[in-house]
Amino acid sequence: MAEILKGNAVVSQSGGPTAVINASLVGVIEAAQANPNINKIFGAVHAVAGMKADNFVDLTDIDAQTLEIVAASPSSALGSSRDKPNADYVKAIVEVLQARNIRYFYYIGGNDSANTCKIVNEEAQKLGYELRAFHVPKTIDNDLRTTDHCPGYGSAANFVARALQGDDLDNRALPGVKIDIIMGRDAGWLTAATSLGQQREDDGPHLIYFPERRVSMEKFVSEIKEVYSRLGRCVVAVSEGIKDENGVVWAKRIAEDAEVDAHGNVQLSGSGALADFLSSQVKENSDISRVRADTFGYLQRSFAGLQSETDVVEARETGRKAVEFSMQYESGSAIMKRVGNGDDYAVEFERTELKNVAEFTKDLPDDFINEAGNGVTEAYKAYARPLAGSLPKTEYLANRDRA
């Protein structure tokens, strides 16, 4: 337990935006406003870049009405950054913090951000400058360790679940093969969430591929053909991080092939390449005529006005808890522990050491992936349903008995 420390605070947001990272921001601001040990509340613009360049906005007196709109807005309201600070960078940050008498540092982000928190904290200690550094978890990838799940995941899960509900009905109406590419380079958490809206036994996605399971092009195409011959259609969700039988990321292989093959202006780079490549593979190796592919892209993390009701509440509370914990501890991350499931779903908030979040990431566990490596288990759905929040019920009429 550390002693009570008085001074100013700074909050900032790092990495890829989410639908609820601003709810965490508001949680930090409102708890800081109510806290007698915190004087001024600064927002660092564009994360560590703003902290280094002394680029701040004053959030001390921001009104509650504006905060409610911020909490409902997607993306990072203070701007973000992909910078990874080195030693000199961190030194410059601590100098700025000292000059502004900032004693509380709240950093909303993924595991890299937890690491930044850690090294800023260590640098301050080295200089004998008393600083509390707290990490506020966020990521649509859901791949942070120690916490049960990450703020941001539930809303992105809700988005992809709705997207697949709609896309599956679209595929029933105009049958064929449909391939959807889902975000998540290293872990299949978000791709798994495409299953959450399934109601009927033959609802898609019928096949789901994760970075955690290698898949050869032969397996991919033959499994699609099997579903298509059985149902007359097939909807497939594929993680952008899908790997071939040798563990090589497909998207990387395609980009390299394209560079070698390039003869004119056309380059195979950018987000649509994997979708188009997989689609052409199915067309070439089957007699299925209607094959389509979509890459969901940034919509998954920054669609306006779509938040999981669980996620937005938890994201805000995570921000509040970080402020609360920073009154008791030098540093840490505000994580969630699940204490109830199903209808009794509930979480408790805990403080953990920064290193427990900063190092390594978390793959989908084996019991969340089916034996064939092409779908999820009921255990996954039970885990994820409360996080994604409510999904619409849908009806399809063409599967009724013929008159």
Determine the interface stretch with its own copies among 83-91, 128-136, 173-181, 222-230 (rule: CB under 8 A): 173-181
Let me know: does 15 contact 82? Beta carbons within 8 Å: yes
Say whether 141 is catalytic. yes
3-class DSSP state of 182: strand
Whole-angstrom Cα distance, residue 320 to residue 354? Answer: 17
The answer to whether the bond into 17 is cis (omega within 30° of 0) is no
- Taking Cα atoms as reference points, which of 98, 135, 96 lies closest to residue 319? 135
- The phi-psi region of residue 353 (left if phi > 0; otherwise alpha if psi is between -120 and 50; otherwise beta) is beta
**Of the residues 77, 124, 323, 334, which one makes contact with its own copies according to CB under 8 A:** 77
Size of the residue set binding its own copies (CB under 8 A): 89
Determine the interface stretch with its own copies among 85-93, 129-137, 380-388, 390-398 (rule: CB under 8 A): 390-398
- Window 268-327: residues binding its own copies (CB under 8 A): 268-273, 275-277, 279-281, 284, 292-299, 301-306
DSSP 376: B
Let me know: does 123 contact 132? Beta carbons within 8 Å: no
Contact call for residue 72 and its own copies (CB under 8 A): yes
Cβ atoms within 10 Å of 217's Cβ, excluding its own: 15
- Taking Cα atoms as reference points, which of 235, 252, 234 lies closest to residue 244? 252
Catalytic residue selected from 61, 88, 112, 141? 141
Determine the interface stretch with its own copies among 67-75, 118-126, 313-321, 375-383 (rule: CB under 8 A): 67-75
CB of 263 to its own copies, least distance (A): 5
Helices (H), 127-188: 153-173
CB of 304 to its own copies, least distance (A): 4
CB of 194 to its own copies, least distance (A): 12
Contact call for residue 358 and its own copies (CB under 8 A): no
CB of 216 to its own copies, least distance (A): 14
Whole-angstrom Cα distance, residue 179 to residue 181? Answer: 7
Alpha-carbon torsion (294, 295, 299, 300), positive or negative: positive
Let me know: does 227 contact 206? Beta carbons within 8 Å: yes
Binding mask 329-348 for its own copies (x = CB under 8 A): --------------------
Whole-angstrom Cα distance, residue 330 to residue 333? Answer: 11
The HSE-up count of residue 367 (CA atoms within 13 Å, CB side) is: 4
Let me know: does 135 contact 334? Beta carbons within 8 Å: yes
- Window 219-258: residues binding its own copies (CB under 8 A): 254, 257-258
Which residue lies nearer to its own copies by CB, 283 or 338?
A: 283
Q: Could you tell me how far CA 282 lies from the centroid of its own chain?
A: 29
CB of 176 to its own copies, least distance (A): 11
**Of the residues 261, 309, 359, 378, which one makes contact with its own copies according to CB under 8 A:** 261
Contact call for residue 162 and its own copies (CB under 8 A): yes
Determine the interface stretch with its own copies among 50-58, 315-323, 355-363, 372-380 (rule: CB under 8 A): 50-58
Binding mask 183-222 for its own copies (x = CB under 8 A): --------------x-------------------------
- Window 28-47: residues binding its own copies (CB under 8 A): 40, 42-43, 45-46
Active site residues: 141
